A and B are shown apart, each in its own frame.
Chain A
Amino acid sequence: MQDWPLFEVFIRSKNGLSHKHVGSLHAADAHMAMQNARDVYTRRNEGVSIWVVEARHITASDPEDKDALFEPASDKIYRHPTFYDLPDALKHM
């Protein structure tokens, strides 16, 4: 048998929060993936909204590129508010 395609499942746990990845499942199409996601991942009120996306459509960063992607951020301390020394007299900034 040919495997059904793999879908990644994202759930918004409650109103106002972002969708978060919870796992994956196989389904023949997106409609079935949605129904299965409901049964597999939300049996106890885990969410108010579900996204499913076929896994092959996701482009992920390579762990090997971690330094090239994220290292440059760590030496830019001037991007953070704590970098700036301001007079104590100044409240609320």
Chain B
Amino acid sequence: MTNTLSLEDRFQQRIDNEEKIEAKDWMPDGYRKTLIRQISQHAHSEIVGMLPEGNWITRAPSLKRKLALLAKVQDEAGHGLYLYSAAETLGAGRDELLHQLHTGKAKYSSIFNYPTLTWADIGAVGWLVDGAAIMNQVALCRASYGPYARAMVRICKEESFHQRQGYDILLTMMKGTDAQKKMVQDAVNRWWWPSLMMFGPSDIDSPNSAESMKWKIKRLSNDELRQRFVDMSVPQAEILGVTFPDPELKYNEVTGHYQFGVIDWEEFWRVVNGNGPCNEERLAARVQAHEEGAWVRDAALAYAEKQKQRNSSQVA
């Protein structure tokens, strides 16, 4: 009976049975392509995500804050590397993936195209941006592709420090002067809506979602995750003593959820398509870092080659 099933059917059966798919297993081309696109975009986001925060490492207000921020940015680099490795198990080359990022062919999370104007932004990024990322990533720990799911587990373990680190910055500032409190509120005002946009277009406008859900690359829909994030964030804002810039935000007794205003999808698409406040700056910084590091990569390879020859001539 099973012999009459097509490869696709058998694959779907494995997915439905919650079996993990591993690198060398048969998989439909679409599954492979979708994963490479999603995992590499995710990796790019981690790498580009270092830039807005790196901006504040030298200006952190104390050594303690500086150490924590450095550790966080180093984690983002690590997360990018776990994810690139996962994408490579599907046959994508590292060089090709980086090329797609540097030429603008591949996307990364739009949130990193917003500027970090004050120290409070670093707090708001940790609290809201990392908070939204965690919401997404926890769901991805159960993704059907083994290497991706395992990378996500590692990442989630490390992310919660990021969010606490950010929230702690804001808590401290909220105990400070009026100017500091105002700075926190201003940062929250600017990061709230872009954070909600991080979950992507509404389910009705998300063309790839149905297939990704069927393949269990995605476990929860964009709107479900966004709602969870809002429900989680409102009480956290109350404890902090800040408000979100949404007059329509209120608790709905019937649904048991916080309802919120309409997201400005025009802004979302504008930033996705390259016209956000920092798109050019981010990409230019990435390309510059890559190009200026070229001689280091070449030198390391030349050195390794020389050592290899030296060792083999000693053996002979």
Contact = CB atoms under 8 A, between A and B. Distances in A.
Interface of A: 1-4, 6, 22-26, 28-29, 32, 39-41, 43-44, 60, 62-63
Contacts of B93: 3
Contacts of B81: 25, 40
A32 B307 CA distance: 13
B178 interface: no
Contacts of A28: 297, 300-301, 303-304
A56 B13 CA distance: 32
Interface stretch (B18-26, B41-49, B207-215): B18-26
A2 B301 CA distance: 9
A6 B88 contact: yes
The contact size tier of chain B is 20 to 34
Contacts of B158: 43-44
B78 A43 contact: yes
B300 A32 contact: yes
B301 A23 contact: no
Contact of A1 (B22, B154, B298): B298
B85 interface: yes
B265 to A, nearest CB: 36
Contacts of A24: 85, 88-89
Given A1-B95, A63-B26, A43 B297 contact: no
A39 B300 CA distance: 18
Given A24-B88, A44-B158, A62-B24, A4 B301 contact: yes
Contacts of B85: 23-25
A22 B85 CA distance: 11
Contacts of A23: 82, 85-86, 150-151, 154
Given A4-B301, A29-B308, 19 more contacts: A1-B95, A1-B298, A2-B301, A3-B93, A4-B300, A23-B82, A23-B85, A23-B154, A24-B89, A25-B85, A28-B301, A28-B303, A29-B300, A29-B307, A32-B300, A40-B78, A43-B78, A60-B24, A63-B25
A72 to B, nearest CB: 20
Contact of B78 (A4, A29, A39, A60): A39
Contacts of B307: 29
A29 B151 contact: no
Nearest to B297: A1
A3 B88 CA distance: 12
Contacts of A39: 74, 78
Interface in B63-96: 71, 74-75, 78, 81-82, 85-86, 88-89, 93-95
